[in-house]
A and B are shown apart, each in its own frame.
Chain A
Amino acid sequence: QSALTQPASVSGSPGQSISISCTGTSADVGDSDLVSWYQQQPVKAPRLLIYDVIKRPSGVPLRFSASKSGSTASLTISGLQAEDEAVYFCASYTNRNTVVFGGGTRVTVL
């Protein structure tokens, strides 16, 4: 199955808001409440930011939020900070009882 589609890169200045899209199909994002987002900083393991489309685990800053419309999920970082520079991955449960990741989006803080 194909990876979910994410933009390769997104950039913004400190304090700005940015959004990252994650486009799938009716077989995954469009048909699932099990969409999650991960942050991966260099040479580190991924960190869960968002689960069940919009929920934030304890410890994740409020500036990270998410939404979904149809087959596209989105992650928004409000008030971008230098420490937010990382690669962000979305993931979705699929109707084949598997999980598929997005290709990843590199966020650069200008």
Chain B
Amino acid sequence: DVQLVQSGAEVRKPGESLRISCQGSGFFFTSYWIAWVRQKPGRGLEWMGVIFPYDSDVKYSPSFEGRVTFSVDKSINTAYLHWSSLEAADTAIYFCARTERIVVRPPAMGASDIWGLGTPVTVSS
């Protein structure tokens, strides 16, 4: 089965660091972007950015650049989302999604057809 499996729910205090994961299976992990999408409680979807596992090419949304870091270990088909210092405003569900890479210059992002179930992150003192 083609799927993305995300790590479980996390609870942290403000100022703490955190890394969550997203492991792909059933497809060529290095042929697609992996997007990260935030959804705050009761709110809409926010595109955080993408990483291309083949060469770790990364594109961040301006709203998230400098606040999170994407990384990947392509040997285990896993993408990561990392915070060095969490804030209460980071409380949300974080989805990863397989996203079509459109081969133009620069490479573009098509639709996201496979989604993980989401990782809830709660940041509270």
Contact = CB atoms under 8 A, between A and B. Distances in A.
Contacts of A91: 45, 47, 111-112
A99 B44 contact: no
A99 B97 CA distance: 13
A61 B69 CA distance: 37
A38 B117 CA distance: 15
A36 B112 contact: yes
Contacts of B111: 34, 36, 48, 51-52, 91
Nearest to A101: B45
A45 B112 contact: no
Interface residues of A, number: 26
Contacts, number: 74
Interface in A65-110: 87, 89, 91, 93, 96-104
B95 A46 contact: yes
Contacts of B45: 38, 40, 46, 89, 91, 101, 104
B35 A99 contact: yes
Max count, chain A CB within 10 A of own CB: residue among B44, B95, B112: B44
Interface in B88-117: 95, 97, 100, 102, 106, 108-113, 115-117
A45 B117 CA distance: 5
B95 to A, nearest CB: 6
Nearest to A4: B44
B66 interface: no
23 contacts: A1-B63, A34-B102, A36-B111, A38-B45, A38-B112, A40-B45, A45-B95, A45-B118, A46-B45, A46-B95, A46-B112, A48-B111, A87-B44, A91-B45, A91-B112, A97-B59, A99-B47, A99-B50, A99-B109, A100-B47, A101-B46, A101-B47, A104-B45
